[in-house]
Amino acid sequence: MNTITAAITAVGAYVPDFVLSNQVLETLVDTNDEWITSRTGIKERRMLKDDSKGTSYLAIKAAEDLIAKSNIDPAEIDLVLLGTTTPDMPVAATAVYVASKIGAVNAFAYDLQAACSSFLFGMSTASAYIESGRYKKILLIGADKMSSIIDYTDRATCIIFGDGAGAVLFEPNYEGLGFQNEILRSDGIGREFLKIDAGGSLLPATHETVDKKQHYVFQDGKTVFKYAVSGMADVSEKIMQRNNLKQEDVNWLIAHQANKRIIDATANRMGVDESKVLVNIQKYGNTTSATLPLLLNDFEKQFKKGDNLIFAAFGGGFTWGSIYMKWAYDKQ
């Protein structure tokens, strides 16, 4: 078979050491462990406590983990794509700095931003580049230091988000494995419901915007939840129908870890058994761009060559989608 498909051939990850538990959050805001667990499924999340380190630190660590485990030469990487909502700084893309630091001296690099869908959309971008035959090795990283944009006096958001990073390597495959199909969507109606008001060209930073806490994430939880449940479930069901997949054909659901109830709703719509639904939200919370690769890294040993994986995500914007992939290797 001469047709090129784009397969994931290696994974890596990194989460900071510091654990922010529900019990600690009880001392910061008016909430409790039972309430957080029952509504989100989250028990703890990780935080990068070092103020001198940004998202690039997390991304570099995840990339180095992948490089060490897969034994690849970073100089062979053609492109470094970084999905992130929390770049180190504006203008100078974080991916460029990450690529230089990991020794990807022959790669070009750029950031990709689609909120919690960044990694999923990045999978689409990486796959298209590989399928075109133009590039052979693409490193896709999802990384976010969410603690840098969260107000830890706002119980609507501080209970949900965590810091972390994950990385995957895309390479050509000639056995028909890897990327199969996608349904990606966006709708600007979401702009008002999940956002950071200030710091962009519309409302540049001033003393006033800082005083009014307009540089933190604002989320209208009920509205976002409603759209996320319908959006993620819809595309996940549609991608099964489009590819003639029955529930028994799906080996694993790799869903964005934003809320356990959203994940369950997606699995129910697909008719997929709970044993096939991968979850690590209890450990990391919502790491935004890092949720999908952190799942791949945590459960890599369970995947078998040829397994059917359905990826699904939903994020601010709104952005959402689903990708169908066939896993390309058995982990030794």
Q: Are residues 164 and 194 in the same domain?
A: no
Q: Which of 173, 256, 259, 297 is catalytic?
A: 256
CA distances from 82 to 2, 142, 165, 317, 319 (A): 29, 6, 10, 18, 17
| d(C-alpha 229, C-alpha 221), whole Å | 12
What SS3 class is residue 298? helix
Q: Is 256 a residue of the active site? A: yes
Per-residue pLDDT, 278: 98
Could you read off the pLDDT of 102-158 as tens digits, one per residue? Answer: 999 999 999 999 999 999 999 999 999 999 999 999 999 999 999 999 999 999 999
Domain residue limits at 40: 5-176
Q: Are residues 191 and 206 in the same domain?
A: yes
Predicted structure pTM score: 0.98
Q: Are residues 205 and 141 in the same domain?
A: no
Q: Which of 22, 116, 173, 297 is catalytic?
A: 116
Q: Is 286 a residue of the active site? A: yes
Count of domains for the chain: 2
| d(C-alpha 59, C-alpha 76), whole Å | 18
Which pair of structure tokens corresponds to residue 222? 């009920």
Q: Which residues contact 230 (CB under 8 A, 6 or more apart)?
A: none
Q: State which residues of the chain have pLDDT below 50.
A: none
Domain final position from 132, 153, 176: 176
Domain final position from 133, 154, 176: 176
Per-residue pLDDT, 332: 74
The CATH number assigned to the domain holding 96 equals 3.40.47.10
Q: Are residues 143 and 242 in the same domain?
A: no
Per-residue pLDDT, 1: 54
What SS3 class is residue 30? coil
Task: Yes or no: say if 149 and 215 are a contact pair by the CB < 8 Å rule.
Answer: yes
